[in-house]
Structure 1
């Protein structure tokens, strides 16, 4: 009898269980080998679908073929528990063997719904133990024998497990050498488990997708690409050096720092800092480092991670103009959220969700640009979609652009992920910002080398780059709407451009409306906020830059999204009081190229009625510390942006939130960080409350971490917007019946036209019937009247945009 794993929808062609297991094993091995765990990853691959050898599963497939109009729901037959049970029988002697059985067993049984807890907080249940040790598997002996007969014999499996055992022993020894704190070793093992999970998920999804598409995996040659791209970048820089502006002092400084970054790239992989002042050519210098380092050490990819509050289009455009578009991937967000829980999977799911699960979404490209939200989700969010990208973070160069934007509650988890990649992933990690945070100062800090900084003589460099002066206007009574508008008009009497950066979208909109209503300066006035899709924001920025190049008058009112990754320069900046890092970033949009004498950045204290930050504690606390620094430096505020003052700011800022950096969850009465690793407090509770000894070696709560982990406190949903004709075309194609390969491309294109909305905004739009179903109801897009050509999302549905195309 032929035992079948999948049946292709197009032509009814079967994929045999044997072929699927061996092919997934090979792909898992390939991913695992990158950090020396080839056989641990391969074990998960070869055993993950052993349960498909059961008669129950084969009957389920036959029914799907015979009843195509009403097939049984995918996932309704448990075919993953059996693989975990096989491991228990083979690996039951030494401690290391039993740990492998638990690690890889959890990976196998969880590959459709996200990693299980070993022990769950509050209830003190042991889901992995119940599933693998206690669940009844009526056909276990029969399916196990079929597996040994067709795929791998018992003896071969034991030999293979011995190699996996040697890998884990080596990993544990390395962890003991690398980590000074013994409590770090169990956390390393948990992140290794997550890595193995990534290897299996991506191998399984990739193999199934290739079978469905009847294609082969496409390979790209990273070494050749990085070498050619470095030559292109060097040529681009040499052309610039021949230009008329090449001998300007600021451009000479930029070249010097770019050269330092290039030379530093010969250093072995580690965690380093690139503290180039704003306007110092950080994007190109970091790209030069990354390409040279990738070429020298045979890295597979370069990944830029930018703040979730900013945009990545301009960084992408700079890189695209040099290396081309073919091998560059922008990943803003998941336009359609398709992940589902284990319970949902076991209950069965619709066929189209299967297509979403298979769509290529694994960061398999030479250059990736993504957000901090997406990076952190790879390690800690629930489900299977995000984690499949994790193995592509190893043997890479990862550049954290504006790293100071990591949310306080996520700092310990962020640091743990970076330390893991450095210690075991052969990954080089670059903390790239003008305002370097003290991430080694917080609890569970980064493991920085003794000399992490690339730029030499940093204080002198900062002074040489000085192009602005911070003017403290906070001593005045709180500024109201009329005060800001009047002051803006006064500044514009002697300037051509002005940027106003405020802390809330509500304040941004109010100031913009008032400026438009009065507009005594006769300037072009622009609004920017995260209510606008990336394509819309990009167009607005391009229009402003063009007008300013033509000496036209421009005022831009923006939320803080403009403070990072945006190459634009204004004569003056008004910044609402915030953290010193935010003020420094806003200052980077003023006199950016040093073409004028020293210009002013005005810091104001906006009234509570106009700008309510009560629900933004990090902004409030940052503003308070900055205010104190302004008072202490009143006799010389120009020093406010010096490295020493910035370090003082971050040390006090992190001290304030020191107990908040491990992601405390009130209903669990513990930190998510503490649910990694040994979890000793839960084991003690199990003994005290239930009188039970814990039966396993591993004890983390990965499922619970995923359940509660959110980089942004208020949950958001990505919604597609009908911004232009291309966007409308994508909507039409997604609401058609796209092939799997087309679906992958459409989801990639759709990110340029998506906006993340809070739950209350989703509810408000739903009540007014302004949210329409996208891709068979698995996503949303906005009605035309809910998107405005000025503000973006219009919750009232009163936009006059209609069918207007404004691109």
Structure 2
């Protein structure tokens, strides 16, 4: 019996040693759970067998006495040799795979996966060349100088353990002799030619040749690597902490389609008891008709050989429920897949999550539903009865499983989905095994940056072809983004035009400033904020509620201030501020997540205070941007909805954050000029509930805000050359005859022309997709789905209870209660505002970074935003501001 206690892989919290063979066997078993048995390598062999083999040997380098001393003696260890283990493990894994008959570039899958199982994947060809041939950087030392010494050390101390580990992989009996001779031989040859040749050209002198990589190499690589990373991390936490993590932790509890049926029946029962208008009743009937029709088409899609579908329905036609129904219909035909529902913005992720929890009766942390974005607490609760397992260890592993998307339904952002597929970080890689046999819903895919469109299409091919996933792209303005193996996607809405025809809810009115631009003006005329405010004020005096969507924060602020001057309305933000100031808390009650939050306020009570402050024939004003905290936005949107139901004339001035997914219905909507899909999305907030016979969406060009020289539409979307504004102008011109345009004409004819124009231009960068073809993971990892902009996260306290959070964090740190510190910091997520900073605005940068850190040494800042305490950094109307600084601080 070989005793591996002499070579542990880890040390437990209690100081006990975890034998290396136990860890490797555990990781290999977990990898076998994660990679499907029918998955294939680019060469047509078993990807699962390859991945399991790699898992069995990935920590081979931990056999050295130097790693042993480093692990067991810690900081006191004085090592005479290298303590790293991944490079040697990568070389051994490659040799074992060759020995087992894997050919071509297949062994490189193991080499790269092991080499980077604690880091990010590199550009494959470049990394292999530098590690095995070149002499230009640190890789030659890691691969060609240290491993021979490590082999000698293992041979001199624990050769029997090396033989045992290699035997477990199924390699030949002479495998250790082969490894012991080939790796030290690099001292003579100076290169691992046999490793590098599959991705290099040349007979005497090798050169990089990325084009030699076969189709599917990148997809196979991320499958092996991500399974190894997830299995390695969960195994380590299990063995070190004692938290039980068996196969059930990797399994899935799927949401069921019958829950959607039950939810709809409940809605129908509630509607039957309400006094609804004929138009609303007819709309509800069309929504249900559409859902049932989409279900039948989804059944046909699932039974076909197709992988990509589109679902094209106008806004307000029940797209969310129909999409869930369609996705679950397809998922019912899969064995163990998940529903991955991705959206462009965190605000609508949270809204969908709330709806989904209601529909599927899922609690937070339930293994049925995970919500994953940068502000979400993402975890899957673990059940353990062991009193010997620390709570923090259980929570730590629950978070790891949550962030690995082990739930049956995951609601997430485009950023999380696509940046996990395109050169992911080590942490994001753990999500990828959850994508096997999944159904991926892309809600509002037109919101993806144009530059990414070819890459998104290529990544969806990876999903459908290598992960066996199905994709549903769902929107009212369907872009020509995805293909289904060269074919048009399968449309789930039979004759979608009839649903657009049925929605004669509104018309589009082009303001003279837009007419001038459609007429060919190089620079449009623009409308001043005072004049725009007068228009809105006129509507309010007529008793009409209006929504005005601006392109930038400073533009929305200036318009809101102009409306306040023109109308003297009750400012909802100020009423809300007053109510926050009335919140009290018991100092003897422990701080919990909801302590002091605005969520403890009932929006209906805020509405009553607004009504009591509004004189007869008076109006209300609400201003909302991303400078208001997430919890504030949620409360104020509910207040706005209730005010609209009460027929209070309301001017809602906002940025694009209300444009998608916010269920509000205004009689009139005003939209600063934007791309076609944004204009149509804004129209989805107009007459949504048939408040009048016909609503109106006015598109205008607003002036540059104070201290700016460029109109907001220009600063965001550009006005020159083949910009989105130019393409939108041509699309609108094709349907505009000088009179208001019917809704259907814009949402179908103009939208189709818009995407035809984009398609003809060859949207996006093909070079991004080519990174996938040549497995340039490092280059993919440097891409970002959102515009890179330096930002500081500021946690804003607006109540005494929220301020107490800060005090409790400091107290917990002083008392070294680190788990409590983590919990309390998590409790600040919905109090957080992300504030971009610009290099050329040194004053704003210094002021923001000069705020108190939430925790010493951390990047997050803390602001006491209570009246009289904020130092001018917080305003009830504007949200977070930087006092007395340049216009750049009032950022986009």
Q: Same fold by TM-score, threshold 0.5 exceeded?
A: yes
Which of 19, 23, 27 in structure 1 is aligned with 2:26? 23
Q: Residue 147 of structure 1: CA displacement? A: 4.9
- 1:140 equivalent to 2:151? Answer yes
Measure the CA separation in 2 of the matches of 1:212 and 1:719. Answer: 35
Change (3 A) 1:2 1:334: farther
Which of 249, 270, 281 in structure 2 is aligned with 1:219? 249
Q: Which residue of 1 aligns with 2:643?
A: 547
- 1:616 equivalent to 2:722? Answer no
Gaps of 5+ in 2: 40-46, 134-138, 176-209, 379-392, 517-524, 570-617, 865-869, 886-892
Change (3 A) 1:576 1:184: farther
Change (3 A) 1:148 1:644: farther
Q: Residue 407 of structure 1: CA displacement? A: 0.3
Q: Residue 608 of structure 1: CA displacement? A: 3.9
| Map 1:572-591 → 2, pairs under 5 A | 572-591=668-687
Which of 126, 130, 134 in structure 2 is aligned with 1:126? 130
> Residues 202-242 of structure 1, C-alpha deviation per residue, up to 9 Å, x if partnerless?
22222222334421226387456426634543543553564
CA contact 1:279–1:588 (8 Å) conserved in 2: yes
Q: Which residue of 2 aligns with 1:484?
A: 532
Which of 64, 78, 89 in structure 2 is aligned with 1:54? 64
Measure the CA separation in 2 of the matches of 1:150 and 1:116. Answer: 31
Q: Residue 618 of structure 1: CA displacement? A: 6.4
Q: Which residue of 2 aligns with 1:274?
A: 311
Q: Residue 723 of structure 1: CA displacement? A: 5.7
- 1:795 equivalent to 2:891? Answer no
Q: Which residue of 1 aligns with 2:567?
A: 519
CA contact 2:533–2:562 (8 Å) conserved in 1: yes
CA contact 1:377–1:387 (8 Å) conserved in 2: no
CA contact 2:120–2:426 (8 Å) conserved in 1: yes
- Which protein is bigger by CA-based radius of gyration? 2
| Map 1:595-614 → 2, pairs under 5 A | 595-609=691-705, 611-614=711-714
Q: Which residue of 1 aligns with 2:216?
A: 188
Q: Which residue of 2 aligns with 1:343?
A: none
| Map 1:619-698 → 2, pairs under 5 A | 621-635=723-737, 637-638=741-742, 639-656=744-761, 658=763, 660-662=764-766, 671-678=767-774
> Residues 64-106 of structure 1, C-alpha deviation per residue, up to 9 Å, x if partnerless?
2x86xxx999x99311112111123223479952412211211
Q: Which residue of 1 aligns with 2:283?
A: 250
Q: Which residue of 1 aligns with 2:838?
A: 760
Measure the CA separation in 1 of the matches of 2:534 and 2:132. Answer: 64
Q: Residue 715 of structure 1: CA displacement? A: 4.8
* Greater relative contact order (CA < 8 Å, ≥ 6 in sequence): 1
Measure the CA separation in 2 of the matches of 1:540 and 1:240. Answer: 25
Change (3 A) 1:227 1:409: closer
Q: Which residue of 2 aligns with 1:345?
A: none
Measure the CA separation in 1 of the matches of 2:132 and 2:777. Answer: 11
Measure the CA separation in 1 of the matches of 2:114 and 2:326. Answer: 39
- 1:103 equivalent to 2:109? Answer yes
Change (3 A) 1:364 1:792: farther
Measure the CA separation in 1 of the matches of 2:258 and 2:112. Answer: 42
- 1:714 equivalent to 2:792? Answer no
| Partner SS, residue 399 of structure 1 | strand
Change (3 A) 1:336 1:253: closer
Structure 1, 317-326 or 734-743: larger mean CA deviation: 734-743
Q: Residue 607 of structure 1: CA displacement? A: 2.5
- 1:4 equivalent to 2:104? Answer no
| Partner SS, residue 473 of structure 2 | strand
Q: Which residue of 1 aligns with 2:323?
A: 286
Q: Which residue of 2 aligns with 1:177?
A: none
CA contact 2:506–2:694 (8 Å) conserved in 1: yes
| Partner SS, residue 385 of structure 1 | helix
Q: Which residue of 2 aligns with 1:174?
A: none
| Partner SS, residue 272 of structure 1 | strand
> Residues 472-493 of structure 1, C-alpha deviation per residue, up to 9 Å, x if partnerless?
1123631111121111111222
Q: Residue 2 of structure 1: CA displacement? A: 2.6
> Residues 119-148 of structure 1, C-alpha deviation per residue, up to 9 Å, x if partnerless?
459xx9735764575342212255484554
Structure 1, 488-497 or 463-472: larger mean CA deviation: 488-497
| Partner SS, residue 594 of structure 1 | coil
Change (3 A) 1:41 1:746: farther
Gaps of 5+ in 1: 162-181, 338-351, 663-670, 679-699, 799-807
CA contact 2:122–2:777 (8 Å) conserved in 1: yes
Measure the CA separation in 2 of the matches of 1:187 and 1:427. Answer: 18
Change (3 A) 1:309 1:238: closer
> Residues 743-775 of structure 1, C-alpha deviation per residue, up to 9 Å, x if partnerless?
887787654344334342897355455444456
Structure 1, 216-225 or 637-646: larger mean CA deviation: 216-225
Tell me the C-alpha RMSD between the 2 structures: 3.8
Which of 467, 475, 496 in structure 1 is aligned with 2:515? 475
Q: Which residue of 2 aligns with 1:504?
A: 552
Q: Residue 596 of structure 1: CA displacement? A: 2.3
Q: Residue 787 of structure 1: CA displacement? A: 4.7
| Map 1:438-453 → 2, pairs under 5 A | 438-440=480-482, 447=485, 449-450=487-488, 452-453=490-491
CA contact 1:771–1:780 (8 Å) conserved in 2: no
- 1:78 equivalent to 2:84? Answer yes
Q: Residue 567 of structure 1: CA displacement? A: 1.0
Aligned residue pairs total 720
> Residues 330-365 of structure 1, C-alpha deviation per residue, up to 9 Å, x if partnerless?
22216899xxxxxxxxxxxxxx9xx89985522222
Q: Residue 731 of structure 1: CA displacement? A: 5.8
Structure 1, 380-389 or 235-244: larger mean CA deviation: 235-244
> Residues 714-739 of structure 1, C-alpha deviation per residue, up to 9 Å, x if partnerless?
35565544466776677677764699
| Partner SS, residue 532 of structure 1 | coil
Q: Residue 622 of structure 1: CA displacement? A: 2.3
Measure the CA separation in 2 of the matches of 1:448 and 1:237. Answer: 40
Which of 772, 780, 796 in structure 1 is aligned with 2:860? 780
Q: Which residue of 1 aligns with 2:120?
A: 114
| Partner SS, residue 492 of structure 1 | helix
Measure the CA separation in 2 of the matches of 1:98 and 1:726. Answer: 63
Change (3 A) 1:158 1:792: farther
> Residues 156-213 of structure 1, C-alpha deviation per residue, up to 9 Å, x if partnerless?
1469x9xxxxxxxxxxxxxxxxxxxx98984522122122222122222222223344
Q: Which residue of 2 aligns with 1:199?
A: 227
| Map 1:222-371 → 2, pairs under 5 A | 222=252, 225-226=255-256, 229-230=259-260, 232-240=262-270, 242-244=272-274, 245=276, 248-266=281-299, 267-268=301-302, 270-308=307-345, 311-323=348-360, 324-325=362-363, 326=366, 327-333=368-374, 359-360=400-401, 361-371=403-413
Measure the CA separation in 2 of the matches of 1:734 and 1:376. Answer: 34
- 1:156 equivalent to 2:170? Answer yes
CA contact 1:719–1:782 (8 Å) conserved in 2: yes
CA contact 1:333–1:718 (8 Å) conserved in 2: no
